[in-house]
Amino acid sequence: MKTAGIAAALMLLCASAAGIWAQGRPGKTAGNGFLEAVWPGVSRSDTEVTLSSKLDENIVRVAVEEGQLVKKGDVLIEFDARLLSERIGIAEIETDFTSRLEAARVRHEYLAEEYNKSASLLDDGGVTGSELNKARFEMDMAKLDREELARSKMLADQNLRFYKTQAKDYVILSPIDGAVSQVWVEEAEMASQGQQLIGIIDPNVIEVRVHLPEQYVKDVLCGQGAMVKFPAAGDREFPGTIHIVSPYVDSSSGVFTVEILVEPGIDAVKPGMGCEVRFLPCEQA
């Protein structure tokens, strides 16, 4: 009796362990196939942007906080642009060639007219060849002066455009509608080139990654449907669509990755939440 009791207890223990093992392996529960299984997933925002500094400059304003919603074009960070503003002011003055160009034009046209008059008098002996050569020289020099001023004007305009283009780097704007996920800097901090400043995510479109055993590589296709549940947000399932199926299987783990796009449309669902995924037949995609 004692031996029979021990045997019965061992059988019960083995049965319980088998049940736990089956529950812990998605897709392998008794009587369930791939489509009936629930797969654990990891969620994140489908759109994540990290903004970095292009300058070695002092930060004078951080206009947002972590978690704050922003619109595309909203100001996030401002750098100290006082020195640049002075350079732009000087460059604007240096681009004013209006009076000099006008004077050079008038002088060139006058000397060209004088040369033409002298050339018409050469055959009649009204001017000598030496005088005509002098008139031509003065006309040519006036032309060169006029062209040199035009080149200087072009260079000054380019310099001003350069400073104005650089000014765009002194104000960091949000490139998308979304939420601030990270703020790595503070006001009065000196930023350096390449330093991370702000992270922005789009919380409305969530990407869910599921790792599947290699035997199911033929069971999923891009465009196929899936239902995703975020247990922390309730029992509701949200429709999603497979948009990426990994082209390779990890040789060390024997799994491949499937990425699903979901648009929950409710605030209770946040990127980073744990989730559960059920795949739908292809005809339901």
Greatest Cα-to-Cα distance within the chain, rounded to the nearest angstrom = 148
Predicted local confidence at residue 283, as pLDDT: 65
pLDDT given at position 8: 41
Are the C-beta atoms of residues 190 and 56 closer than 8 Å to each other?
A: yes
Query: What is the token pair recorded at 92?
Result: 């604007």
Number of domains making up the chain: 1
Torsion region of 103: left, alpha or beta (phi above 0 gives left; psi -120 to 50 gives alpha): alpha
Residue 136 lies in a domain: yes
Chunk the chain into consecutive blocks of 10 residues (it has 285) and report each block's average pLDDT, rounded to whole numbers: 41 36 37 79 92 96 94 96 95 92 93 90 80 91 94 94 95 95 95 96 92 91 94 92 94 95 89 93 64
Answer yes or no: are the C-beta atoms of 24 and 181 closer than 8 Å.
Answer: no
* C-beta separation of 213 from 253 below 8 A: no
Please give the pLDDT value at position 66. 93
Question: Would you say residue 188 lies in a domain?
Answer: no
- What is the Cα–Cα distance from 20 to 280, expressed in whole angstroms? 25
Q: How far apart are CA 230 and CA 275, in angstroms?
A: 4
In a domain, 154, yes or no: yes
- What is the separation of C-alpha 143 from the centre of its chain, rounded to a whole number of angstroms? 49
Q: What is the pLDDT of residue 34?
A: 85
Is residue 219 situated within a structural domain? no
- Per DSSP, the chain holds a count of helices (H) and strands (E) of 4, 12
- DSSP annotation of 82: H
Both tokens of 275, joined, read 């989730």
- Give the global pTM: 0.67
Containing domain of residue 103, as a range? 82-167
Q: Helix %, strand %, coil % for the chain, to 5?
A: 40, 30, 30
Which of the 8 DSSP states describes residue 168?
Answer: G
The pLDDT value recorded for residue 74 is: 96
Tell me which H or E stretch contains 23.
helix 2-23
- The verdict on residue 229 lying in a domain is no
pLDDT number for residue 190:
96
139 assigned to some structural domain: yes
